[in-house]
Structure 1
Amino acid sequence: MIRIALAEDNNFLAQSIQEKISFFNDLTLKFRAKEGNDLLAKLDSDHNIDVILMDIQMPRMDGIVATANVKEKYPQIKIIMLTVFDDEANIFKSIQSGADGYLLKDEDAETIHNSIVEIMEGGAPMTPSIALKALKLLRNPVKPSEEPPKKNYELSVRETEVLEQLSRGLNYNEISANLFISPATVRKHIENIYRKLQVRNKLEAVNLANKERLI
């Protein structure tokens, strides 16, 4: 049995990852932490963990800093960055901090399972697009000043509020009640969000919003 810990502050994304893990009898989720300090505290209580699935953007202590801390204290624990961030700077920083693998959150359950098994066998699993960027980094290390400018998706204030509510895993009626607008208005805002972000569903919208720091 491979013992897993998950570091993820977003409840919706954490639930999605937990569901993917639950499909496999050889994986068990021991605990979830909501940010780096929380992860380190939980490891102090129980560091009998094989693999950590680590988000990057978390409050208080992010995943890159947390990875460095875990590797210093518990070098035997394998860490897979499981994130929406596929930019060169985060890949480089993650590898520097000691990450053993790097996957995007939209990978299917089988890919995540196979990557966990691979990392326990000494491999270094990476989403193919990440591996390509990592190879390019070896040839031409990125500098912070070279990061591309943030794209303007032209979301309205209300659309951003609805997107933030979506990221919490809330449904149309809950968003309607929280923002004091009708469910039909919520639906219209979500249609506009999908169109502006050029995504097809809630998971893609939330992933892109986190990646582009729209919320």
Structure 2
Amino acid sequence: MHTSAPMRAIQLVQCDKDLEQAISGEIQERQLEVVTFESVDEFRRRFQTSPFRNDCILLESRSSSSLDLTSLIEVRRMAPAGAVILLTTNCSHANLMTALRCGATDVINGPVDAVTLFQRLDDYFESRPPKTFRIDRPQAIAGIASLTRCEREVLQLVLAAMTTQQISRSLHVGPQTVAKHKQQILRKLGVRNDVELVLEIVGNQTQTDHFSGLS
């Protein structure tokens, strides 16, 4: 028998049907309210028109080459309280730390089973008060929403602590193209450099040396 946790609702964002099936029994046993969203865009549209309780959000990363950090940032911006669990199959230790700094409550790397997932959720709700994660500056909020697909790809690789050259190789584009995308990202979010960009996203970390190799 599981330990009762103060969780009444759960949202599944861009999660595949296999995951829904795997956790359906535990959801029914706990009598949780469940809402599913095919994409982050759908989550944003429905949340803006009719905000809902967000005790826990399961967000599945759809990127096969890196963590889907821009989706995480967007979801966490709209739902600053409660748990956001990022589900992925491709997560290095460095990416894990970046995801946690970007607002993930936890990252599950690999196949997800109901017992493991809800045990970790129970531990979270019973041992720690909910954290609030916010991007407060209006320009940063609007800037994230206005990023193009290419700019979002570059942003998530910047957040993963990749250099311009590394991003260039990963996306198969020239360094000058990467630099132009980064300039547009900085302009839209109203920051001056990569370090300020990361600090803006992750909530004003006090130790900037971790990000000194970004540019």
TM-score normalised over the length of structure 1: 0.48
TM-score normalised over the length of structure 2: 0.48
